[in-house]
Amino acid sequence: MTGAAYPDWDAIYRDNVTWVYRLMYGKVGNQPDAEDLTAEVFMTALRPLRVSATVPEVRKYLRMTARTVLASYWGDRMGRPVTAIEEDVPEVIEPELIASDAPDKVRSLLQRLPDNYRRILELRFLQAFSVKEAAGQMGVTVANAKVLQHRALRMAAQSGEEVTS
């Protein structure tokens, strides 16, 4: 499909869900959040997007919606919007073609954090524990786990900025 319009919403979803999910996963780094954000992109686009729009128009609109959804996500998480979605990223990214130093950067970043901050981030984002499960593993209250996660994310963001500066 290039310049033609999609026949219905189901076709729009099926043709675009993979690249939207991969984009979100690449930005947030964990499956549960990527799935939630992908769903949010399509739910946000559902009402204003015309089914009669051409395929390139639909993809452009979904990309702009993804940028807005990501900005909101990062703004809520860290008080820092991340809205950069490179225009030259292919619509479909094959995982085996991506070479990344992200795992090394994450390891390095985590090593610079205090033990309790590192542990909460590992449990929440690397092992996909819920806040309640992570709190149980750490022997703290859920409220304490939320505070630890918030502070750990802020410290990690600041530490990451120092490294890239």
Per residue in 52-70, pLDDT (tens digit) is 888 898 999 999 999 888 8
- Say yes or no: 67 and 113 in one domain: no
Its domain, for residue 150, covers 102-162
> 140 pLDDT exceeds 90?
yes
Domain boundary among 78, 93, 125: 78
Residue 97 in domain: no
Would residue 109 count as lying in a domain?
yes
> E-strand spans in 26-116?
none
The 3-state DSSP class for residue 150 equals helix
pLDDT at position 161, please?
61
93 assigned to some structural domain: no
The mean pLDDT value of the chain amounts to 80
- Say how many domains are in the chain: 2
Neighbour count for residue 118 (Cβ, 10 Å): 17
pLDDT of residue 89: 46
Asked if 27 and 60 count as a contact pair (C-beta separation under 8 A), the reply is no
In a domain, 25, yes or no: yes
pTM: 0.50
Angle between helices 55-78 and 31-46 (to 10 degrees): 130
Of 109, 101, 111, 142, nearest in space to 124 by CA: 142
Task: Write down the pLDDT at residue 131.
Answer: 85
* Whether residues 109 and 153 fall in one domain: yes
CA distances, 16 to each of 61, 84, 88 (Å): 11, 19, 16
Check whether residue 14 and residue 63 sit in a common domain: yes
Residue 4 within any structural domain of the chain: no
